[in-house]
Structure 1
Amino acid sequence: MAKDIRINNVERFAGFSMLYDENRPTPPNEVIRILTRYLSDKPQKLVDVGCGTGLSSFIWLGHADEIIGIEPNDDMRQVAIANWQAQQKPTTLRFENGLSHQLPFESATADIITCSQSFHWMDPQLTLKEFARVLQPGGVFAAYDCDWPPTFNKDVEESYRQLIALADARVNQLSSEEKQAYKWNKEQHLQQIRQSGLFSFSKEIVFHHWELCDANRYSNIALSQGGLQTALKLGADELLSLVTKFSNQVEEAFDGKPQEVLFSYRMRLGIK
């Protein structure tokens, strides 16, 4: 993939790292249970690629001997580092700048590589080749993503989808194709793993996690979507009134108290 698309994908996440970090769901314990089961041991070295603000890296504290979060976006990585410093810099964890197809590790040194909400922003075949190089024999790769919107009720979810669809349409109108980020199809992740020929076993796993969520956080999850943030950066100010309308709808639906919301995850897994 051309260099400018990789840059566009990295820059897409600039400017809203705190919003992202404070509202996106922390991956549930099921991620650890599934991957350690397939590895059949506690990982000595876990690499979390496209780790963003570190939500998907911190969950491994106490479950892996060494954890490295790789994140090319400076804003996201700085929040991860700040959170790491606030936890008194646990020595088993660190964050580094890097790209998925050029990892700063020797061959056959990682037990698990994860991509949480990030693999669709990476050139899949170049990335899988690099992951297979870095993984030890029997090592596990997992790309896992949330379904959006989180499950709550019909009216709120339809408004969420409409807001994001309108934002995506405005991005297409306000910027040329060569300046836009490129997203690979998540539905083809498993096919990409299998087509690479680099993994002896692969499958898709679906799991769910209930969380208490207040109205403000639910609204901010929508606001943290990259398409909406990109549209606002490009000057689609008319979306602000729609964001306010959506937030008011969510506030009314939540009836002034936290509600249980279901986050659904899809994991595509490959074992070297």
Structure 2
Amino acid sequence: MIEHIRMNNVQRFTGYGTLYDENRPTAPQEVVKLVTTYLRRKPQTVVDVGCGTGLSTFLWLNEAERVIGVEPSDDMRAVALAKWEAIGKPDKLQFVKGFSHQLALPSASADIVTCSQSFHWMEPQSTLREFARVLRPGGVFAAYDCDWPPAFDWKIEEQYLRLAALGDARMAELAPDEQQARKWNKNEHLQRIRESGLFRYSREIVFHHWEMCDAARYANIAFSLGGLQTALKLGADELHAEVAAFRELVAQAFADEERPVLFCYRMRLGIV
């Protein structure tokens, strides 16, 4: 049953890797500062699991001796590999196909394991056991996520949430039970880390990052939501009109200008 869920979760991210990469936020430098502060040494090996298109992986390129991005989706990983090739294929960075519960790494071989916007797609018990196995003593596991939508304007945010709910509802209606993806509650990440008994210390850290954004990008962040994309792939064509209406509302709010928006992050970390 769990294996079936894993494959459905991977399938959810098929077909929009470029859209995702061009619009979702790049992991901020605060991630490196926070995690290395708790590690208390320069990391030799960083493993970014569920790395998608590498938005959270390239952050570590100049911060560690070896960086490994692990991603089961061929579509998402292909975008990451294209970016890796574009910067000259650095040997210290690699992207591999894999799942969080079966990392092709020796025990006690990693200093840091990160999950950016991805831990909620992983079966937590087997995943945490595997992360604890590959981390060296004193190593850090950090799962961090954005609060959606980006903070900008309450009317825009209200419609963003409405569009997301419509996409999720239509996806649930159109997808057969055997094709349904599953998310684990992000608000329970810290509790699961603690209850696993695998980490000597755990906590939650909240931080934020301002980015400049134009109307097209803000609208595309909503358009890249997995539920909406899945519903459209399943034939919910009426959602195109909802997306177009949202784009128009966002365009009016941005008035052809770039504006600062706030991405709010929550990091749950554990120390082995």
TM over 0.5: yes
3-state DSSP of counterpart to 1:91:
coil
- 1:151 alignment partner in structure 2: 151
CA distance in 2: counterparts of 1:213 and 1:90, whole angstroms: 30
Q: 1:63-82 to 2 correspondence within 5 Å?
A: 63-82=63-82
Measured in 2, the distance between the counterparts of 1:94 and 1:71 equals: 11
Q: 2:244: which partner in 1? A: 244
Is the 8 Å Cα contact of residues 12 and 181 (structure 2) preserved in structure 1?
yes
Residue 2 of structure 1 and its aligned partner are, at CA, apart by 2.2
Partner of residue 112, structure 1: 112
Deviations 1:115-169 (A, max 9, x none): 0000000000100000000000100000000111000001000000000001100
Structure 1 residue matching 2:60: 3-state secondary structure: coil
1:16-43 deviation line (CA, Å, top 9, x unaligned): 0000000000010000000000000110
- Cα distance in 1, alignment partners of residues 98 and 67 from structure 2: 15
Could you tell me how far apart the structure 2 residues matched to 1:117 and 1:267 are? 10
Q: How high is the sequence identity, in percent, across the aligned residues? A: 64
Matches within 5 A, 1:208-227: 208-227=208-227
State the secondary structure of the residue aligned to 1:14. coil
Give the secondary-structure state (helix, strand or coil) at the position aligned to 1:130: helix
Q: For residues 215 and 112 of structure 2, what CA distance do their matches in structure 1 show?
A: 35
Instruction: For residue 176 of structure 1, report the CA deviation from its aligned partner.
Output: 2.2
Runs of at least 4 residues off by over 2 Å: none
- Report the TM-score, using the length of structure 1 for normalisation: 0.99
Match status 1:25 vs 2:30:
no
The residue type equivalent to 1:33 in the other structure is K
- 2:223 maps to amino acid: L
Question: Could you tell me which amino acid in structure 2 is paired with residue 190 of structure 1?
Answer: L
* Structure 2 partner of 1:268: 268
Q: Distance in 2 between matches of 1:236 and 1:67?
A: 39
Take 2:92 and 2:55, find their aligned partners in 1: how far apart are those partners? 15
Q: Residue type of the partner of 1:60?
A: W
Q: Distance in 2 between matches of 1:35 and 1:168?
A: 33
User: SS where residue 55 of structure 1 aligns?
Assistant: coil
Q: Provide TM-score, normalisation by structure 2.
A: 0.99
8 Å CA contact 2:52–2:73 kept in 1: the answer is: yes
Instruction: Report the counterpart of residue 186 of structure 1 in structure 2.
Output: 186
Quote the offset at 1:90 in angstroms.
1.4
Aligned residues: 272
Question: 2:138: which partner in 1?
Answer: 138
How far 1:175 sits from its partner (Å)? 1.4
Structure 1: which 5+ runs fail to align?
none
Structure 2's unaligned 5+ residue stretches are none
Q: Aligned equivalents of 1:9 and 1:152: distance in 2? A: 30
Instruction: Check conservation: 2:210, 2:261, Cα contact below 8 A.
Output: yes
Per-residue deviation, 1:12: 0.5
Find the aligned partners of 2:5 and 2:128 in 1 and give their Cα distance: 18
Query: Per the alignment, in what secondary structure is the counterpart of residue 95 of structure 1?
Result: strand
Question: Aligned partners of 1:88, 1:146: CA distance in 2, in Å?
Answer: 30
Q: Report the AA paired with residue 135 of structure 1.
A: L
